[in-house]
Amino acid sequence: MAPRFPVDDNRYPSRMLRRSGRALMRVIYNLTMYVLTPVILYRLAIRGLRHRGYLSRWAERFGFFPDPGLKESLWVHAVSVGEVNAAAPMIDVLRERYPQYPVVVTTVTPTGSDRVRRIWGDSVFHVYLPYDLPASIRRFLKRVRPKLAIIMETEIWPNLFFCCHERGLPVVVANARLSERSLRGYGPVRPLARMAIRCAEWVAAQSQQDAERLIELGADRSRVIIAGNLKYDMDVPEFLDEQARDWREAWGERRPVWIAASTHEGEEEKVIDAHSRVLRRFPDALLLIAPRHPERFRPVLQLCRQMGFRTSCRSEDGLASADSQCFVIDTLGELLGFFAASDVAFVGGSFTTIGGHNVLEPAALGVPVLVGPHTFNFTEVTDLLMESGACLRVADDAELARTVESLLDDMSRCHHMGNRARGTVEAQRGALRRILSMLKSLLGPKTAL
């Protein structure tokens, strides 16, 4: 496969200089990665004190794992839970259309790993993606022998892309997004990022803005398509409505219920404070709270109880009881069900500079969405929902409480917002079809066993 970046020719001094400059950048980058590896492992161990999953399977992070005996696999990389969920419909269709190719799914986080195993079990091969060290990436590729690499969203690791390129392995960046902040964040490694993304066969951007930023980063304009956001194509299980009715009957069918999802440290206090205000207006209100990271499960449970709320949790109690005021969702993979059982949803990561999380899940279920001031990770999606009247932005915990009260006090408005949310998601579907069409150009027509 011909390189995407210009081929240097010794007859041209300027090209020789560019070649030597790129080679030097790669050497400096690799040296930096090797120097930082002990720091990365130390950080991994520290995280492992709060989430035991980070303490296991370290060998995989350097490309060491038993050879699974695969040949011409379809490799999909999805960093964590959100990316796995977004990739799931695509992976399911690929498995159906191309059963002759085994599927490999890599993640970076233990929660992403757990999600892969929950969805597919042993029907796909799963390991952690190795760190971006040349030898580690080569070991990984030698073991899984991919025919095609599909990188979800924007994981632009230079050695990963270069090693794939050197093997003639087509790389597709699917559901690609790049915020203005992330674009600026490449800083001194931007030339390397430019070289890396130009190795991609196709880049399927979520929006026009993402496409322009990816091109500014260095993507070949002729190989960038605007496919839309795969998360709009999320599968909504039919059983959720019935399950939601059963759950609400268990904790009180007529109770007002709101959920705070994907919250971070520093946000939970604001959410709980907002709930204390909501309870003054609605004494029987129930707050469902789902921390983003498992290490926050126990601290949030303790925080709710320290604040004097009658609190139960998913792992110990199953469901909230009729007298529960707070219910901590301390499990993974069940958030859709709790969104479906809620009247209003606040999506976390938006009261902090994290930049917000996926607002499409509650929207697809017809639940009004609230966000804080910081949503730069999902700017286009959030703006679209706000323009359609499906989403409201709140500045702080006091405004969060007032807005939740207002919606719970006017269920017709609540239902109207929810209907607008569902309609907006439905209107934006189609990314999966466009991405599959693009992949077909690389894989050929579907094959049945």
Catalytic machinery residues: 83
In the block, tokens 């500014």 appear at 216
Q: Compute the distance between CA of residue 311 and CA of residue 329 in angstroms, rounded to an integer.
A: 11
Q: Which two tokens stand for residue 141?
A: 């590729």
SS (H, E, C) the chain: CCCCCCCCCCCCHHHHHHHHHHHHHHHHHHHHHHHHHHHHHHHHHHHHHHCHHHHCCHHHHHCCCCCCCCCCEEEEECCCHHHHHHHHHHHHHHHHHCCCCCEEEEECCHHHHHHHHHHHHHHCEEEECCCCCHHHHHHHHHHHCEEEEEEECCCCCHHHHHHHHHCCCCEEEEEECCCHHHHHHCHHHHHHHHHHHCCCCEEEECCHHHHHHHHHHCCCHHHEEECCCHHHHCCCCCCHHHHHHHHHHHHCCCCCEEEEEEECCCCHHHHHHHHHHHHHHCCCCEEEEEECCHHHHHHHHHHHHHCCCCEEEHHHHCCCCCCCCEEECCCCCCHHHHHHCCCEEEECCCCCCCCCCCCHHHHHCCCCEEECCCCHHHHHHHHHHHHCCCEEECCCHHHHHHHHHHHHHCHHHHHHHHHHHHHHHHHCCCHHHHHHHHHHHHHCCCCCC
In the block, tokens 């200089």 appear at 17
Q: Compute the distance between CA of residue 14 and CA of residue 92 in angstroms, rounded to an integer.
A: 48
Q: Is residue 150 a contact partner of residue 174, using CB atoms and an 8 Å limit?
A: yes
Q: Which two tokens stand for residue 285?
A: 């209100």
Backbone angles phi, psi at 411, to 5 degrees: -70, -25
Q: Which two tokens stand for residue 365?
A: 């279920």
